[in-house]
Amino acid sequence: MDFDLDLGLGLDALALTAIVAFDLDDTLAPSKSPLDVEMAVRLAELLERTNVAVISGGQFGQFRSQLISPLEQLGAGRLDRLHVMPACGTQYYRWEGSDRSTLGQDDSGWVRRYVETLDHSEKARAFAAIESSARVLGYWPEDPWGEALEDRESQVTFSALGQEAPIEAKSIWDPTGAKMRRLQAAVAPLLPDLEVRVGGSTSIDVTRRGRDKSFAIAKLLESTGYSLDDVLYFGDQLREGGNNHPVAAMGVRCIEVDGWRDTLAALDVVLARAKRNRASADGAVGDPGR
Ligand SMILES: [Mg+2]
């Protein structure tokens, strides 16, 4: 293995790269919560120096509330260097606005460069397989917080407690992950041509095959022209079976974190080193993919 999973041993890896990429939930922010202002400040600083990519199974609306709004509120200056990859990179958004006064008002400056949409039959089969399996296992919510089954265009997502469920309820519902693994095992054989994965702590995602976070990294490199060596990735759940593992497995240098405060500490090291090196080399990089 040529990547280092251990933050404590990975100090050498904490150097500025052409793209610094992140998982969102439990890496940049608590699950489904906005960035802490300290993290927003650090990301804005990072954007002054390099490209920042954020990859999550969530949809754009979640990026909007968790990531983009806090950065806009802070007045982050280089949103054009932010690469937003919802639904594991089956969608890709960039800021292309010319008028910064629209920031925070609407999404007009945020352009979806592509979306890989599931077709009608794929979605219908995914909905049916999840609902029938969840009912059999007793996991179908009769009174969910928000929608339980959601069409995310390129992904179908089942949230066992509903999209809007509070963290406290989610943290106690399936603390070992056994329920979601059981549901995944029941649904997968019903959708042999699609990929069924445990998403968050109480959710299942269905996509086309191979649409995990390594797909997102591949699309990111294709869009920007950079190579694997140009990426440094921060994520929780990097070990085998974790939703960030595919990134490590493809050979990207990965830093494993346990919550956003770990990420913050690691970014402090990256930024301090970048400042020290600025005298000898231009720390900032260009703007690929424009
Ligand atoms: Mg995560």
Distance in Å, CA 278 to ligand 1 centroid = 32
Is 222 inside any structural domain? yes
- pTM of the predicted model as reported, rounded to 2 decimal places: 0.80
The whole-chain average pLDDT of the chain stands at 89
Are 11 and 112 in the same domain? yes
Q: Which residues contact 26 (CB under 8 A, 6 or more apart)?
A: 236, 237, 259, 260
pLDDT for the residue 152: 87
pLDDT of residue 276: 87
CB 41 within 8 A of CB 242: no
Last residue of a domain, one of 190, 208, 226: 208
pLDDT at 2 over 50: no
**Last residue within a domain, chosen from 156, 183, 208:** 208
Instruction: Note whether 106 and 64 are same-domain residues.
Output: yes
- How far, in Å, from the CA of 200 to the mean position of ligand 1? 8
The model's pLDDT over 88-107, given as tens digits with 9 standing for 90+, comes to: 899 999 999 876 666 666 67
Beta strands in the chain (DSSP E): 19-23, 51-55, 82-85, 91-95, 110-115, 149-151, 156-159, 194-198, 203-208, 231-235, 253-256
Write out the residue range of the structural domain in which residue 129 sits. Answer: 120-208
Identify whether 51 is part of a domain. Answer: yes
**Tens digits of residue pLDDT in 114-154:** 999 999 999 999 999 999 999 999 999 999 999 999 998 99
Q: Which residues of 135-150 are buried (b: 16+ CB within 10 A; e: fewer)?
A: eeeebbbeebeeebbb
Q: What separation in Å is there between the alpha carbon of 25 and the centre of ligand 1?
A: 4
Our CA dihedral for 101, 106, 112, 117, rounded to 10 degrees, sits at: 180
| Residue 45 belongs to a domain | yes
186 and 233 inside one domain:
no
Task: Tell me the CA–centroid distance for residue 34 and ligand 1, in Å.
Answer: 14
With both helix axes pointing from N to C terminus, report the angle between 260-277 and 37-49 in degrees, rounded to the nearest 10: 30
Q: What is the pLDDT of residue 7?
A: 45
pLDDT of residue 39: 98
Same domain for 219 and 87, yes or no, is yes
How many CB atoms within 10 Å of residue 80?
14
- The Å distance, Cα 5 to ligand 1 centre, comes to 15
Q: Is 130 exposed, middle or buried (0-12, 13-18, 19+ CB in 10 A)?
A: buried
Is 2 contained in some domain?
Answer: no
Inform me whether the pLDDT recorded for 269 exceeds 80: yes
Contacting residues for 179 by C-beta, under 8 A, at least 6 apart: 137, 139, 160, 173
Distance 224 CA to ligand 1 centre (A): 24
145-176 pLDDT, tens per residue?
999 999 989 999 999 999 999 989 999 999 99
The secondary structure of 48-117, three-state, reads HHCEEEEECCCCHHHHHHHHHHHHHHHCCCCHHHEEEECHHHCEEEEECCCCHHHCCCCCCCEEEEEECC
Residues 21, 101 share a domain:
yes
Q: Note whether 181 and 247 are same-domain residues.
A: no
Residue 229 in domain: yes
Q: Residue 13: pLDDT band by 50, 70, 90 thresholds?
A: confident
Regarding predicted confidence, which is higher, 288 or 159? 159
- Tens-place pLDDT, residues 199-209: 878 999 999 99
CATH at residue 90: 3.40.50.1000
Report pLDDT for 290. Answer: 42
Average pLDDT over residues 54-83: 94
Number of domains in the chain: 2
Domain boundary pick from 208, 243, 265: 208
If asked whether residues 36 and 166 sit together in one domain, one would say: no
Same domain for 199 and 220, yes or no, is no
| Mean local confidence (pLDDT), 248-260 | 94
Instruction: Indicate whether 60 and 130 sit together in one domain.
Output: no
Distance 2 CA to ligand 1 centre (A): 22
Residue 1 resides in a domain? no
Report if residue 284 sits inside a domain: no
Q: Are residues 162 and 44 in the same domain?
A: no
pLDDT of residue 98: 73
- Cα 233 to ligand 1 centroid, rounded to whole Å: 12
159 CA → ligand 1 middle, Å: 16
Are 17 and 133 within one domain?
no
289 lies in a domain?
A: no
Output the CA 24–ligand 1 centroid distance in Å.
6
Instruction: Quote the ligand 1 centre to 240 CA distance (angstroms).
Output: 14
Indicate if 168 and 111 belong to the same structural domain. Answer: no
Ligand 1 centroid to 127 CA: how many Å? Answer: 24
Contact 67, 39 (CB under 8 A): no
Can you give the CATH number for the domain in which 145 is found? 3.30.1240.20
Question: Considering only 9-18, 57-66, 158-167, 182-191, which range has the smallest mean pLDDT?
Answer: 9-18
